[in-house]
């Protein structure tokens, strides 16, 4: 029996594929390679195509004995989603519908879904738990929430059990040094800061230092990509053991400000990393920190790479050995 990983050539997906292979699982990957990289796939059987292509997906399910799906394939740029929401509804929501219809046809009853803290929007309180209100402030988060809900209706109607994992800020790279973050365009804080350290950018722009936080910059909960990957394996195991559908936050419960991230990166890289403060970026909540108590209690998830310094060091290891990403 194989595990199908959609979006398995992407940043988080490729780390999940690596973790599945390390556990001896048979892995099938479906990725369009619009954002993903063929070199990020460290093993398994890769199918290149789009989930919205019915023939393609029928072939993937037809040629493999799939017992569970881990679904990463999606567009994930907040800014882009505000300019072109249609693209997000079409690829993310309709793509997920195509996947679920195919699972129904093939009788596949388990899915682990890559969701996001963006489902919450501006939090009412921190740390955020899974019972807090979900009012996304951007189209990306709205599509992920719609996907979560659609997946739940496929449980009600067709018995497809799901675990949705709402990630906070993924960062870091695989300890082998073989895979890491390589986005075009890059918009995330940690890789951008490291590009400054590599001399690829003159400075890092700090989006606002007038937030109601101690140093005035936004606070986020950074979580190592391999800890996220591990959670997907635990979630799949839980579903295999007959677990019910559920939603879990994945974060360390530790908040770091933009300034703290830059300072830590200076320490890790030994570079000055000049920073320039600009206006706030639209749609950024001041503080996003997760309560992952539920994932710890029910999945037995225990993130082991929680220190910001370790997370940034592992990213730095990837970036300095792959200054051009997978092209290096």
- Told to check if 60 binds ligand UFG by CB under 6 A, we report no
Which one of 41-49, 121-129, 281-289, 291-299 is the stretch in contact with ligand UFG (CB under 6 A)?
Answer: 281-289
* 262 neighbors 275 (Cβ within 8 angstroms): yes
Q: Does 284 bind ligand UFG (CB under 6 A)?
A: yes
94 catalytic residue (yes or no): no
Quote the Cα angle for 274-280-282, to 5°: 135
Among 109, 220, 259, 305, the residue binding ligand UFG under the rule CB under 6 A is 220
Identify the residue among 75, 76, 92, 252 touching ligand UFG (CB under 6 A). Answer: 76
Q: Is position 288 an interface residue for ligand UFG (rule: CB under 6 A)?
A: yes
| Under rule CB under 6 A, residue 200 binds ligand UFG | no
Rule CB under 6 A: choose which of 3, 9, 218, 236 binds ligand UFG: 218
Asked if 207 interacts with ligand UFG (CB under 6 A), we say yes
Q: Choose the stretch contacting ligand UFG; rule: CB under 6 A; options: 15-23, 182-190, 194-202, 226-234.
A: 182-190
Q: Is 192 in the site for ligand UFG (CB under 6 A)?
A: yes
Q: Looking at residues 101 to 130 of the shown chain, list those that interact with ligand UFG (rule: CB under 6 A).
A: 116-118
Measured from the CB atom, the residue of 11 and 61 that comes closer to ligand UFG is 11
Rg (CA), the chain: 19
Q: CB of residue 245 vs ligand UFG: minimum separation in angstroms?
A: 22
DSSP character at residue 32: -
Nearer to ligand UFG (CB atom), residue 12 or residue 51: 12
CA-nearest of 169, 143, 188, 170 to 281 is: 188
Helix (H, G, I), strand (E, B) or coil at 228: helix
Find the catalytic residue in 11, 47, 88, 140.
140
Q: Least distance to ligand UFG from the beta carbon of 97, Å?
A: 21
Residue among 102, 169, 245, 313 that touches ligand UFG (CB under 6 A):
169
Task: Work out how close the CB of 222 gets to ligand UFG at its nearest, in angstroms, rounded to a whole number.
Answer: 9
Give the nearest distance from C-beta 44 to ligand UFG in angstroms: 25
Query: Would you tell me which residues interact with ligand UFG (CB under 6 A)?
Result: 76, 78, 116-118, 140-141, 169, 187-189, 192, 204-207, 218, 220, 258, 281, 284, 288
**Active site (catalytic) residues:** 140
């Amino acid at each position: 029996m194989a595990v199908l990983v959609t979006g398995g050539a992407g940043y988080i997906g490729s780390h999940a594929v690596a973790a599945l292979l390390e556990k001896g699982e048979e892995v099938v990957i479906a990725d369009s390679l619009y954002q993903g990289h063929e070199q990020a796939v460290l093993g398994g059987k890769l199918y290149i195509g789009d989930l919205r292509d019915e023939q393609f997906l029928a072939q993937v399910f037809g040629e493999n004995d799939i017992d569970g799906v881990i679904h990463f394939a999606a567009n994930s740029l907040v800014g882009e989603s505000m300019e072109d929401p249609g693209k997000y509804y079409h690829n993310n929501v309709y793509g997920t519908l195509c996947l679920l219809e195919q699972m129904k046809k093939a009788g596949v009853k388990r899915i682990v879904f890559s969701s996001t803290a963006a489902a919450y929007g501006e939090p009412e309180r921190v740390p955020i738990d899974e019972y807090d209100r979900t009012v996304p402030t951007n189209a990306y988060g709205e599509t992920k929430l719609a996907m979560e809900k659609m997946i739940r209706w496929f449980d009600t109607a067709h018995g497809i059990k799901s675990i949705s994992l709402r990630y906070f800020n993924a960062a870091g790279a695989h300890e082998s040094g073989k895979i890491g973050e390589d986005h075009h365009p890059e918009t995330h804080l940690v890789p951008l800061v490291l590009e400054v350290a590599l001399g690829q950018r003159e400075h890092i722009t700090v989006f606002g230092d007038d937030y109601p936080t101690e140093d005035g910059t936004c606070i986020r909960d950074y979580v190592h990509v391999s800890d996220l990957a591990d959670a997907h394996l635990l979630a799949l195991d839980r579903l295999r053991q007959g677990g019910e559908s559920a939603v879990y936050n994945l974060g360390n419960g530790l908040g770091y400000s933009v300034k703290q991230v830059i300072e830590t990166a200076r320490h890790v890289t030994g570079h000055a990393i000049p920073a320039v403060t600009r206006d706030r970026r639209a749609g950024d909540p001041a503080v996003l920190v997760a309560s992952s108590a539920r994932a710890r209690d029910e999945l037995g998830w225990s993130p082991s790479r929680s220190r910001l310094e370790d997370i940034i060091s592992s990213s730095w290891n990837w970036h300095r050995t792959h200054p051009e990403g997978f092209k290096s």
